[in-house]
Amino acid sequence: MTAPRVRFAPAPTGYLHVGGARTALVNWLFARKTGGTFVLRIEDTDAALSRPALIDVVLRTLDWLGIGWDEGPHRQSERLAYYDLAVNTLLDEGRAYRCDCARDDVEARARDAGRKTPGYDGYCRERALPPGAGAAVRFRTPDEGTVEFDDVVRGHVSFAASDLVDFVIQRADGSPTFLVANAVDDAEMGITHAIRGEDLLNTVPSVLLLMDALGYGPPPTYAHLPLLVDEARKKLSKRRHSVAVEDYREQGYLPEAFVNFLATLGWGPPDGVEIRPLTEIVDLFALEDVTKAGAYFDVKKLDHFNGEYLRALTPDDFVARVTPFFGDATWAPPDFPDERFSRMAPLVQERCVTLADAPALVDFLYLDEPEIDEAAWGKAAQGQAAAVLDDGIAAFEGLDEWRAEALHAALAEVGERHGLKLGKAQAPVRVAVTGRSVGPPLFESLEVLGQERTLARLRAARARL
């Protein structure tokens, strides 16, 4: 058997849809696993989609995900001659015909005829419209028979030819539609396996018919992946969710975590170990094992994956990768990541779900005054807060070594004096110094903040009581 050739063929809509990323990943896995070639093809036969900026987004995002292609990107907008040739051939052979029906007319006829099925009725089949402007070209679909194929994940699929309408293969402006471009390219590019989303399943018969009419050899083997759905089991939509991979990057997800998570949708490793390097997934992956039912894109689970990957990073790597997420922080110093952050980084790393969580964990180190969360302060200021702050200030003033251990011991002693556990005793101190009730371990935070600033904040808080 010759080496497989697969393709990822996105329409450049301005962002990479997570479902598209999943499709790309599966194609990539299959290619790597089988020693095949992964072709990238941009489906931009629609002029509105054929813009370099839109295409760049796709390329950059695939790159970010670590999904590299072996060939391409081919652009359908640059291959128009092939499609023209195919359309003309079909026209010459009577397999296609011109049609100038307006959409409204088609609909009106369907209504008048009382047909329940909307769609084109073959009105222009025998009109033999001459070449010229204003007419689209439609493919003459068979009136009877069935179109069947074996899908790697779906199994045997069968369509009645009578259910197929005469679809448009060339628009009135002369541009080809997806269906011809798809048939021609898959054939011309020697694609052996067409792996894509289930939403394209019922375009297969049209493409198969086209390939046959054009005299191409055996069609590719199809594999239709289950759709990614939301909590209501609907296809992920741009309106309601973050569907752009770019959004997840901005939200601080790591590409390796994201890709690993994507691989577990519609497929699972035989040993049940889900979090693992892509290289292992390549070894374990099999197209035949892909699930048929829609898969819910569960961000909670993605979070878990991301946390695991985040904590597994070396400290240096973590700092390097989290740094861009401080770009929007006006308080971040020019030399960021500075020494203060480096000292805090391991503690921050333990507590992040995404990289974007980091700034809020250390902002108090850089702000002149911490931003006090009123609700948190309200709680912390109750009870013996005044006494704890007074004694805490006194104890911290007397420290000759400003180190976490010493601070810990000092505040623990203050707490004991007032019958408070350390957890209780540290509450007012934490809010006073960091502005929040939760955050990295307190004494390490104070150590890095420094004696002077810590005391100033404690005094300010005491004054506020």
Nearer to RNA, 3 or 234 (CB): 234
Structural contact between residues 68 and 60, judged by C-beta atoms closer than 8 angstroms = no
Nearer to RNA, 287 or 332 (CB): 287
- Min separation Cβ 178 and RNA, Å: 3
Residue 57 CB partners (closer than 8 Å, separation 6+)? 12, 14, 15, 16, 246
The catalytic residues are 238
Nearer to RNA, 199 or 371 (CB): 199
Look up tokens 């939301």; give the residue.
230
Nearer to RNA, 5 or 44 (CB): 44
Give the residue from 446, 413, 414 showing the smallest Cα distance to 432. Answer: 446
User: DSSP per residue over 48-86, as a string?
Assistant: GG--HHHHHHHHHHHHHHT---SEEEEEGGG-HHHHHHH
Nearer to RNA, 56 or 150 (CB): 150
Nearer to RNA, 3 or 416 (CB): 416
Give φ, ψ of 374 to 5 degrees: -60, -40
Nearer to RNA, 214 or 228 (CB): 228
**H or E element that contains 159:** strand 155-160
- Min separation Cβ 405 and RNA, Å: 7
Look up tokens 């992040």; give the residue.
352
Strands 37-42 and 5-8: parallel
Residue 223: beta bridge partners?
Answer: 195
Structural contact between residues 206 and 182, judged by C-beta atoms closer than 8 angstroms = no
- Min separation Cβ 285 and RNA, Å: 11
| DSSP code of residue 219 | P
Nearer to RNA, 333 or 403 (CB): 403
Structural contact between residues 24 and 7, judged by C-beta atoms closer than 8 angstroms = no
User: DSSP per residue over 312-363, as a string?
Assistant: HS-HHHHHHHHGGGGTT-TTS-TT-S-HHHHHHHHHHHHH-SSGGGHHHHHH
Structural contact between residues 103 and 70, judged by C-beta atoms closer than 8 angstroms = no
- Min separation Cβ 314 and RNA, Å: 16
- Min separation Cβ 20 and RNA, Å: 9
Single-letter amino acid, residue 249: R
- Min separation Cβ 95 and RNA, Å: 17
Structure tokens at 281: 């997934």
Residue 321: beta bridge partners?
Answer: none
Structure tokens at 339: 């020494």
Structural contact between residues 2 and 18, judged by C-beta atoms closer than 8 angstroms = no
Q: How far is CA 252 from CA 302, 318, 463, in A?
A: 12, 12, 39
CB-CB neighbours of 213 under 10 Å? 19
- Min separation Cβ 2 and RNA, Å: 26
Total residues found in the chain within this entry: 465
